[in-house]
Amino acid sequence: MLHRVIDVVDGHKALTQKKLNYFRSELSNPIDTKPNDLPKFTDLLRSGVFKTGSSFVCLVPVKLLFSDDYYNRIIYLDLKKAMESLEFAKGFSYNHANSLVAFIRPDGTLVLTQGNHRASMAYLTQGADALVVVNVRVHTETEEEKYVQVEATDFTIDNNNRKNMDQYDRFKGGFVAKDEKYIKLVEVVKPFGISIADTHKGKYHATKTFESYTYLLQGFSTDDTPNKKIAKECLSVLSKHLIEKDIKGYCFVGLVLFLKSFRERIEAISEMNPLQYSLDDFVHYVFQERRKLNGAGKLTTQEDITTSTSAVKSLKFFASRWVILFNEYCLVREFKIRGRKVNGDYAIPESCEQWQEFIEDLHPVNRRMFSVEAF
């Protein structure tokens, strides 16, 4: 959906009339001059020079600029940051703003791929007729899907050069630009009703989100089973039993690593309790039955599992949290282990070979934070 940049600024919750009055009165004059030799966009438009595939650097009124939220982050415009930049610099700077980038669509709409915040800063200080320097490019594609892909590609290339771009925006831009790795990842999560960065819109119904897509990739790379069976099972049960909408990266990777590291003990318990144990029942217990404060508190959340200290950097820590939950689950369900019911003996004790292998590469300081009993 297209949004006119100045309309987004006008309706932004961070903007007050007092702030706007300050920018328009105290900071209305740019701190440097705009290039004198650049033509105005409106003059070029009247002259008819904008031909398919052409490109011009010119001065464009901010009131003519739009942004597409399909791949761009216009609805999450950080206007507070833009205002802080204006106050710090004591006005709008053409030198610092440099050149924005916009494409002319077949219907004549001028759509920004680079420069939402800079256009907002010019508007805040100088109003709707403020001129900004824009590299205006005329699309060669006429089909909507194709010209939007071209814009998204330009947006994504620019994002990759910026360290402060968050995962949501990187993924969204890359997906619309048809980057193969993002498309494949969406196809993987689609059967489980999971969306990454709102890429499900108009394609399928999603009940859960997964914004930390780098951890999604890490979870799949951790899984060494054929066809990534463990990772897919984890996505299935988490999407089914989580009350929270967003699946957290540490929670997912921790579960995958737990199932991989302790598969032999888990399989043995499953064989002894074939009618009772399943991964589905285990995760259901964790998020739908288990309550904190010895059963008197609120339901367990992902944050309860992933909360850690800054000293713990290993993903194994989050897998160890799942060990604790699994031991508790086996006790509650009264599973048989080695031919008898669990009676104070943990399904995965610290004395077992798999636990020792699990913690052997950890620093001794971190080892003391790992437990099979409680967190």
pLDDT of residue 340: 64
Domain spans, the chain: 2-140, 210-367
* Token pair of 281 as six digits: 């029942």
Which one is predicted more confidently, 175 or 285?
285
Element housing 336 (H / E): strand 336-337
pLDDT of residue 37: 84
pLDDT of residue 311: 45
pLDDT of residue 198: 79
pLDDT of residue 88: 84
| 45 in Cβ contact with 136 (< 8 Å) | no
pLDDT of residue 307: 81
| 273 in Cβ contact with 227 (< 8 Å) | no
Contacts of 204 (CB under 8 A, 6+ apart): 190, 193
Question: Model confidence over 192-239: pLDDT tens digits?
Answer: 999 988 777 776 788 899 877 888 888 998 999 999 999 999 999 999
pLDDT of residue 374: 85
Question: Model confidence over 229-278: pLDDT tens digits?
Answer: 999 999 999 999 999 999 999 999 999 999 999 999 999 999 999 888 99
Question: Model confidence over 135-175: pLDDT tens digits?
Answer: 999 999 999 999 999 999 888 876 655 545 567 777 877 78
Q: Report d(CA 298, CA 52) in Å as an integer.
A: 61
| 199 in Cβ contact with 172 (< 8 Å) | yes
| Neighbouring C-alpha atoms within 13 Å toward the C-beta of 60 | 28
Q: Which of 267-276, 322-331, 337-346 is least confident?
A: 337-346
Let me know if 296 is exposed, middle or buried by CB neighbors in 10 A (0-12, 13-18, 19+).
exposed
Rounded to 5 degrees, what angle do the CA atoms 361, 364, 368 make?
110
| 234 in Cβ contact with 247 (< 8 Å) | no
Query: Is the pLDDT score of 108 beyond 90?
Result: yes
- Mean pLDDT over each residue of the chain, to the nearest integer: 88
Query: Is the pLDDT score of 313 beyond 60?
Result: no
- Give the residue ranges of DSSP H helices in 40-166: 41-47, 79-89, 94-97, 116-126, 144-160
Reported confidence tier of residue 343, pLDDT bands at 50, 70, 90: low
| 334 in Cβ contact with 269 (< 8 Å) | no
| Mean predicted confidence (pLDDT) in 331-353 | 82
pLDDT of residue 166: 64
pLDDT of residue 339: 65
CA trace torsion 286, 292, 295, 298 (10° rounding): -90
Query: Is the pLDDT score of 109 beyond 90?
Result: yes
Question: Model confidence over 34-76: pLDDT tens digits?
Answer: 888 899 999 999 999 999 999 999 999 999 999 998 888 888 8
